[in-house]
Structures are given as C-alpha cells and as structure tokens.
Amino acid sequence: MKKTFDYWVYSHPTLKKLIMELKIAIIIIAFSVTTVFATESYSQAAKVSLDMSNTTLEEVMDEIERQSEFYFIFNQKQIDVNRSVSIKEEDKLINEILTYLFIGTDVNYAVIDRKILLTTDPLDEKLLTSLEEPQQTVITGRIVDEAGKPMAGVNIQVEGTTIGTISDINGRYSINATTENPVIIFSFVGYDSQTVPAGGRTSIDISMVPSLSALQEVVVTGYGTQRKVDLTGSVASVSAEKILAVPVTRVDQALQGRAAGVLMRRNSFEPGSGNMTLIIRGLNSINGSNSPLYVVDGVIGASFNSIDPLDIQSIDILKDASAASIYGSQAANGVVMITTKRGVAGKAKISFDAYYGVSQAKGLYNVMNPKEYMEYVNDARTRNGQAISYPDIPGVLNQVGAGTDWQDELFQLGNEQKYYLSISGGTDNVTYSASGGYLANNGLMMNVNYHKYTARFNMDAQATKRLKFSTAISYANDVTNSMESTWGGDIGTINVIATPPTLTPYDEFGGYPPIIYNPYEAGSPKYYKNTFAGLEREIRESLGSYIQFNFVTEYKFTDWLKYNFSLGLQPTIYESRYFRPKDIPDPQYFEQAAYASKNSSRSNNWIVENLLTFNKTFNDVHNLTVIAGTTTQKYTYESTGASAKNMVFEQYQFHNLGTGTAANNTVSSSLSEQQLASLFSRLNYNYKGKYLLQVNGRADGSSKFAPGNKWAFFPSGSLGWRLSEESFIKDLGVFDDLKLRTSYGSIGSHGIGPYGTLARIGTTFTYGFNDARVGTYIPLGIANKELRWETTTQTDIGLDIGLLKGRLNFTLDYYYKVTSDLLLNQAITLNNNPTTNHNPTITQNIGSLQNTGFEFSVMYQSKTVSDFDWSIEFNGTFQKNKILELALREGQTSIYTGDNLRRNYQIMEEGKAFGNYVGYITDGLYQNQAEIDGSAQITAKPGDMKYIDQNGNGSIGTDDFVVLGNAYPDFFSGTTANLRYKNFDLSIFFFSMIGHEMFNYELSQWKYNLSAVEFNKFKDVATKRWTGEGTSNDIPRAGYKPVNITDGPNGAIDVMVEDASFIKLRNLTLNYNLPKGFVERANIANANVYIQGNNLFTITKYSGFDPESNQIGQSTVTLPINNTPYPETRSITIGLRLGF
C-alpha cells in the first residue's frame, strides 16, 4: 500500500465518549454545510470500478489505491485485512464503495481529501483535524549581521518541524510554515541563535548577534568536525564567499593569499594549465612530493579536477602535525579539506551564475624596430670580422616601413565565459544538491583555449531513525589546446618575439607560410619557422575525464556511538594528441617531416574506510570524543604511447601511426600499482570548554617498502587552554576569546615510486660494427631493501585572540619542523659501464631539512554607520628553510642541479637554505685591452662582461660560483578589504611575495648573450650597448658570447637573477544587489550583478613578463627559470547571480 502506519487511540469513560460523539456530529454537520459552497473535493469527484470476488479486503484496498490517488490509514491490530469480500461496482464514489465494504462491521471510516481513515474507535475531533492538510504561511525576510551586512547561509527552521531553508547571498529567505502559530529559529555558526514567534507576520527581518566568540564556527577536520573554539591544532578556513571572490578554473587557485602559511604559486597562465605549486609551511622533501593531501567530502587523495569551485561550501587547511597526522603518511605536506554544498530540507532552491570577461597580455617587451635591428646586426657582423648583412638599410626601410610588431601579431584579446546552474532541496528524510557548469577560456594566442564541463550530485537519505546514507558523484571533462612550446620543443613565445621586425608572418595571399625567408639579408638568406602556421594547423590537444564517487553509510547505535562505512572511487582517463603536417618544420631540428603522437593513461584510486565514533559528555563538564578506524587504499596507473614520423597518409593525423617510417616510430607502455593500509585513532578531551587535549595515532603500511620497513607509526598530541574562560581574564572585560595552544607530532612520507626499493633497468642504444645502432639495457637504480619512511616532526605554538565582541580577531602561530631520513638518490660509478654518460643511482635515507616560520592573521569588522560598513583581513607568513644533511660523496661539499637549458644553476649545501641560485658575479664590462691583459679572461674582447675570479686562480670556472639569490620568498601575504554602502559592495584583494629572486633567462637571450645575431633584442641593446670605451658598463658589445658558454650553459649570472618581489592587485570587484522590491516582482529570490578587474597592476622590480610565471621550474624542487612563458593577463569581467 502507499502508506500505512500504526497509531494508538486511548480509551475514554462512557460519559466522555458520549460528549465526544456529540462534538463529532456538530463538526460533520458544519463541514457538510460549508462544503456546499466550496469547490468540489477530490473525494467528491473521483470514482472507482471494482469487480472482485472471494478476495481479501487488503487486495480490494490495494486495487482502490492503484486506480486512484486515495491511500488508507489504519491500525493493523483493529482492521482485519484478510477478511474475504466480494464486490462489483461500476463508477462509484469512494463513500459508496466504503459503505458496501464495511456495512455490518464495527469499522468506522472518514474520507478527507485523498486520505481514508479506518478505525474501530469513535472518530474524535483531534484525529480528524490531524488528517487535514495544514495551512501554509509563507514567511520572508532579510538577515544581516551586527554591521548590517547581508548574511548568506543562515539556517532558518520552523520550530518543532523539519522544515528549513538557508538565506541567500543577499541575506534574503523564504520559508513555508505549516503550523498554526509558527515559531522561527535563526542560527549561524559564530552567532547566537534567535527564536522568533511569527505572531501573524509574513515578513521577519533579523539582525544576528555574534556569539561571545566568533570561534564557535565549525570546521572540518580529519574524520569529523570541531568547533573552532575547541581546536588545539593549527587550521585555516576559506569560506565559499572568498572562493567566489575571484573567478578561477581550479580549486587551488582560490587559495592564493587566503590563508597564512599557504603559498600558492601559479607557474603558468596558459588556459587550462595545471602548473600550480601549493606549499604549506615550506618544503618537506627534496626527491619526494611537496604537494598537500586533498580530501574531498571525506575521500582521501581525491582529485580537485572534477570539482567546480562554485560547488564548494568551505575549504579547511590542516597545517600542523596535530591537525594533519590523523592522515599519517599522506599528510606530511599538510591537508586541504574540501567540503561541497549539500541540500537542505525545504522548497527547491535554484541558483544561476554567469560571467563573461575579456583579457589582454600584460608586461610586454620593448624590442628593436627595423632600423635599430639592422644597425645592430651590421655592428655585430663587423665586430666578428664578417660582412655586414644589411648594406642598404634605407632601401629595406622603404619596403618594410615600421615593420612587424610580433607581440601585437601574437597576442590577441582573450575571453572567458562561464555558466553554472544548481538546484537543491529535499524532504524531511531525503535532501539533494545537483549542479552543472561550463567554462570556456579562449587564450591570447590563436587556437589556444580550454573548455571544461562539470556535473555534481550529492544526496543524503535518513532511511531510519538510526540509519543514514550519503552519496556524492561528480564528473568533469576538459579539453585543452596548448601553445606550440608544450609539444614541439619551442621555448615559450621567444621564437616569435625574437623574429626580425623586418619580416612578416603572411604570404602574398594573407596566409601563414610554414617557413619565413629573409629576402633583405645579404649573402645566404636566413629562414625562420613561422609559429603562426603551427598555431593554425597543428593539433595540440589534451583531453581529460575525471569521475569521483563516494558512498557513506552511518548507523547510530546510541546518541553517543555511531559507525561509518565509506567507499570512494576515482577513475581518471587522460589523453594527449599531437599532429604536425610535413611542411611545418620541427621547431628543434627544423626538419620538415609529418609527425604525430598519441599518449593515453588511465588511473584509479579506490579507498575503503571504517570508522567508529564515541562522543559523550559526563556531568556536563567532561566531554570525550574518541574515534578509531581503518583505511585500505589502492592506486593503479597505466599508460600507453606511440609516435610516428613520415606517415604515408597525413589525413589520418594521429589515428593511423602505423603508416610512419618504422625506424622513427616509437611505442611505450607502463603499469604501476601501490597500496596503503592504515589503522588510526584520535582522542579529544574537553573540560568545561577551558582545558583541551587531543591525542592522535596512525599506523601506515605501504607496498612501496620492503618487508620489515613497510609499517610505521606516527603519533601527535596537542593542548589548548582557553584563558578567556578563567575568571581572572573574564573580569578584565577585554577578551571575547583568548586561547593558548601547542602541538607536537610526527608525520611520515613514502616519497619514492612504487618500486623504489627494487633494482630497475632501462633501455638505451650504443653503436656496434659499422656504426650500426644497437639497443641495450642499462641499470637505472640499485635495489635497497633498507629504505624507510621520511619522517617530519613539527612543533607548533599558537595564540587566538578575539576582541570587540568578535569584530577584531588575531591568530598567531610559530612552527618548527624537521624532515629526517630524506629519500635521496646517490650516484654510483660502475666499472665497464657500456654507456660512458650514464651511471645508476641508489636511493638512500640520507639527509634532513628544517623549516621555521611565523604566521599571523588579523580580521576587523566595523560597525554600520549610515548604511556604511567596512572590513579588512590581512594574513602574512615569514618562513625560512635550511638543509641540515645531504647525500654527499666523499670529498663533496655541495650538489649542483639544473636542466637542459642551463646546467648547474642551483646549489644545495649543508647548513644553507634550499632554493639557492648559483653562478658568476660580474664587475661591469672590459673597456679596453689593458683591462683584459693579465685578467682571468685572457680571451675576452673590449665590451665583454667581466667575471670576478673569486678564488684568484687566474681562470673562471665553477669554483668561482657564489649564491646569487633564493627562489622562495622570505614573506608572503594576502589582504582583503570590503566596503559596503546600501546595495553596493566593493571588494579589494592584494597578494604579495617579498624577498625572493627569479632567474630571468630572457635577459640572457635578448640582452647579455648577444651571439645569436639574427634574432631581435631588447631596445636597450640598440640604445645602451657598449660601442666603445666608456659608452656602457652594463650591456655588452654586439655579438658578445658569454665566456661560460664555451662548454655549454653553466651556472647563472648575477645580472640575470633579479629581485622578483611583488605586490599585485589580484582582484577588484564592485557588486550591486538588486532592490528587494524589484526581485520580488520578478519572482526572484535574489539577484546581483558585478564587474571585476583581475591583475590590474603589479608593483615589482622584475623585468620579465611576470614575477610568478616561469617555464622550467614547475615543481617545488627545480628552481624557476623565466624564459618567455605564456604571459599573465589583465582582465575585466562582468557577471550575474540569480537565486530562485
């Protein structure tokens, strides 16, 4: 049946029963009279046809429910549903059917709308009234905080019911109250709850009052939540409001400048780029990952690629060992807890967001014009003893005029648009939230773009009083078309901008020829690859599909004991595809041959967890929470790849690689698997909300390590003392909250690959008889079964202060942490090695790293005066690191590292900071031959750069290297200011990084290494270079080649390592909330429009495109080199948000 439930009817004395029957008679008579004038009800119109013999009463009732919208309500102990009946009626009203069925029995019935009540007891007034549909009263209003600012997310509930809703972004709400005299409860974390009788009103406006401490806010911690006031660890929170403030494509971008101790560095500004560096409290590892653990809705290791930032309710960042150690070996670099939005019981809420923005490149270069360029080339040729290239400069200028501004040709206006739709709501027992989004970002270059589609569905179901189910499903698909350098070896945008301004990218038909010839240069004409042809005709596409599924079951044994089971699955599919037609030359070797490649990978991360939670308060003063659980996790990664050259049928692109030349075809594949098993527990004790204790322990077992070292135990503990609860502090009347906390603990990291303890081999080639190329195998790594976990121990001391009734808050933290047993690779020299350029390595637990820092955050909210209020929030972090121990060979004092572009520009030394650039110090230019004679650079020429011979040995080499700077800032901060006047809101967000350097390799290419004569240079080279004694002591002569280039790029040079400190106006937003009267007439709950400016200006001494972007150092370990990457953009965006 559609619905049945048991109810009890209490017995009454005979006299009372008679009086009740008289009341019912009066009600029935009154009801009959009034219905004469009323609209015909369902029971008066609906008819039923039955033809059933020798069947049970239950089957007849089922047939009635099947034919109609009626449903029966009865007590199974009173009604004999197994009684045999026969009935044959055609198109009869329900009352006629019921009279026939129950004539001669003691069953009484009543029909109220679609409900049919059956009982053997008299029908009383109370029972009949309870069956009637309740009258609904719609109550609306607006909620503001103590400053008069609209409050979003306030919970509104009708007392005594499960009917509820939340306020929208403008503080407005609407709720249907079904009780006769509804009482409305308004609640919000950090504010006192308010209970307000409606008293017949249909509009109720509320001003929320902060709790004694705004730290009553609930934050998400590992395997549960805690009131912020009860935290003993270091946790930073980022609200949905802050995430919405700046339009971002990825979740981690939203964290920049929002939390103390959290450094987010965006290495590339190309659409869809995932080159982000997020570091929490400094570097913990050299070989291993320094990225934090992401936990999305409780799923460990979840990918945030599947999440639309607008789906996020809050982000909580666990920074110290006490807060993070519950996640053990995966939490050495901190934990980012992401909570997505879920439904609330009540009427469905619909929201729609849309924005459109345009962007342009910022920080472009000032380069030579055609005349300056040709004069420079002639000067360089002359100084190098060569014939000049442009004997008729005026004649060329007559043909080319102002020449080509290659940056103007390359960088177009970009645009970005996004659309997002969500709906949430539910019933008393089932709530839901669903959303979908689309993002399109068309970049600054032709055919460079990014498209992303997202969908999410969250549901919570209260199956019984004790059993609850929750699920979350998300899907994302993205398509990225990258710039040429991502695929073909091109170095950023340098090949375009450095093209001579005398040339043009177009042919006589307005198309893009694959090769540009220089018809104006004397002698053998130079030719250049036309990058525009590649951007137009090459395919440089990446596709990703990301799925995340999470299922949670919760069963409450008692009010203080519950069990949770969770299952998480995260399959990911990724594919990259590249095709270059045969007439477009290879950017590295300039070879014209069709080339295509296709690489695909799939991964799956599944996790199963069991959790038991005990929470009980004893004698109203002792609160104890204990959790214990298990985790089993497995990650699988599989990839395949193939490439081909000289394909017979180009039209197949990368879909028929087998037609390529066999000698040039390549095929690869891989598979890796790793597993982790864990046991964990945590105890929280709270005495009178004054003295706080937390103890954590987690044991992890990893498949990466050999037997005997697979398991490790990571404990932590923390204490908190709420001084503001002590009478001697309360009596001062100054502090709303004053808490001292400290923590200590250890967290591990298995910072090696899945097979890092095993011996590994690889393939290479050598040359045999007649120089025939022969494949061979080489050792890559030597087995080491003694490898064990990296371990990070951390001490934290913190202080939380709240003043002025929660309007002024301070948080201060000092941390000290050391990572020991670093997993480092040490080179091994082998005898009889078939390849002289390669020796294997062995991974060992050698090395340690130290990080110290001081963090603070300040927040102030003004009072509202004449409809105006303002707030400001500032967070800052001072940090230092030091290498305590390294894996050094005997006699070795340091380790140099670099890359193919520039070798040995980074140095690691014991007792020194990690992240140091190293290279030569210069002392201006040689002005004449006399200065060169007897110097350490006897082959130099006047106008060459002068290097300082640091050790005085009469030559320039790596022994003359000195530290030139450090890539990691001494201080970074974020500042947010909000101003509100009536319906207008203005938000300003600044981000800064101070006290760090960047290797600006563009200065080598275009200013200091002037040997590549045929390429364009900075305008300063034309106007300020050395042309004779005393003319310049900075920019060398035309055609100069730095002395340290003779054996290949080696080390940095002081003039190329620049101060990269900056302050950016990251975002400026003006928002207007449409008037209440307007939106109500339009049947809209809320509406606001806004205009944003992003990256409006940057204050910096750095001369490159941007002090954040770089091309080489896109990991936490490889130091940044800025070599003409995709530039940062300045954008203007307009947007609309609607709520229904």
1100-1120 pLDDT, tens per residue?
999 888 888 765 544 556 677
Mean pLDDT (the chain) is 84
Residue 1127: both structure tokens together = 């530039």
Phi and psi angles of residue 55, each rounded to the nearest 5 degrees, phi first = -125, 170
Cα dihedral sign for 1122, 1127, 1131, 1137? negative
Q: Are strands 293-296 and 172-177 parallel, antiparallel or unpaired?
A: unpaired
> How far is 693 from 686, CA to CA, in rounded Å?
7
Note whether 49 and 91 are within 8 A (CB). Answer: yes
Domains annotated for the chain, with CATH where assigned, are 14-131 (3.55.50.30), 137-209 (2.60.40.4130)
Written as one letter, the residue type at 927 is Q
Confidence of residue 587 (pLDDT cuts 50, 70, 90): low
Confidence of residue 796 (pLDDT cuts 50, 70, 90): very high
Identify which has the larger pLDDT, 907 or 483. Answer: 907
* SS3 state of residue 436: strand
* SS3 state of residue 622: strand
CA 263 to chain CA centroid, nearest Å: 13
pTM of the model: 0.78
Confidence of residue 168 (pLDDT cuts 50, 70, 90): confident
Confidence of residue 435 (pLDDT cuts 50, 70, 90): very high
Nearest to 233 by CA among 360, 300, 325: 325
* 202-211, 244-253, 670-679: range with highest mean pLDDT: 670-679
* 108-112, 170-174, 674-678, 746-750: range with highest mean pLDDT: 674-678
Confidence of residue 831 (pLDDT cuts 50, 70, 90): low
Residues in the chain: 1140
Around Cβ 132, how many Cβ atoms within 10 Å? 10
Confidence of residue 190 (pLDDT cuts 50, 70, 90): low
Q: Are strands 430-442 and 561-580 parallel, antiparallel or unpaired?
A: unpaired
- Provide the Cα torsion 396, 400, 401, 407; round to 10°: -130
Q: What is the DSSP letter of 1014?
A: T
Note whether 433 and 458 are within 8 A (CB). Answer: yes
Per-residue pLDDT, 275: 64
* 26-40, 162-176, 446-460: range with highest mean pLDDT: 446-460
> How far is 738 from 877, CA to CA, in rounded Å?
21
Average pLDDT over residues 122-143: 70
- Integer distance in angstroms from the first to the last C-alpha of the chain? 36
> How far is 109 from 64, CA to CA, in rounded Å?
15
In this prediction, what percent of the chain has a pLDDT beyond 90?
A: 41
Note whether 635 and 301 are within 8 A (CB). Answer: yes
Average pLDDT over residues 29-55: 63
- Give yes or no for residue 1002 having a pLDDT over 90: no
Per-residue pLDDT, 728: 92
